[in-house]
Amino acid sequence: GLLYVLQQLALLQSACHIIICPGSNSSLIALLKSVKMPSHITVYIAQSSHVSVAQVLSVSTLLITKSGSISVAEALAMQVPMILDASNNVLRWERYNHYFVCENKVGFSVKKYTQLPALVERVLSDNVLFNQMKTAMFQLQKNEAPDVIKRLVYQLIKSKSF
């Protein structure tokens, strides 16, 4: 998956810097390093022990990721538009993430890696689209656990249903 994603991103016409987070799989890292990239695209392979996801997202314009809830939540929290990988069978409990991201216009879902170059180019070059995605992320309701818990406890006490 990740190797093919990088190979597809090598087809981008626009200059960009790609940060890849492959974990600590040394054989995958070696394969990723072997991919020949055009001179207008630079790549940094961020091994999990060297950098946090928050650090990567803080310098990111766009996230291409698996559709796990933590990845999606982190991108939403950092307000980074995303492209979710739907190339293989999406796990049943992750399907909602694809729906949520697309329905709320904060990202896209791709079924084929070959869709990536055109979609990435579109997101990065269309300022109107990119700003709409950022605005949609900003407008999503963010629930803070202490506030939600306080409100729920108050409602329970008020209803005397405990």
pLDDT digits (tens, 9 = 90+) for 56-102: 999 999 999 999 999 999 999 999 999 999 998 899 999 999 999 99
CA 94 to chain CA centroid, Å, is: 13
Q: How many CB atoms lie within 10 A of CB 74?
A: 19
Could you tell me whether strands 41-45 and 16-20 are parallel, antiparallel, or unpaired per DSSP bridges?
A: parallel
Structure tokens at 11: 């087809």
| Cα–Cα dist 63/20, whole Å | 10
pLDDT classification of 153: cutoffs 50, 70, 90: confident
pTM for this model (two decimals):
0.83
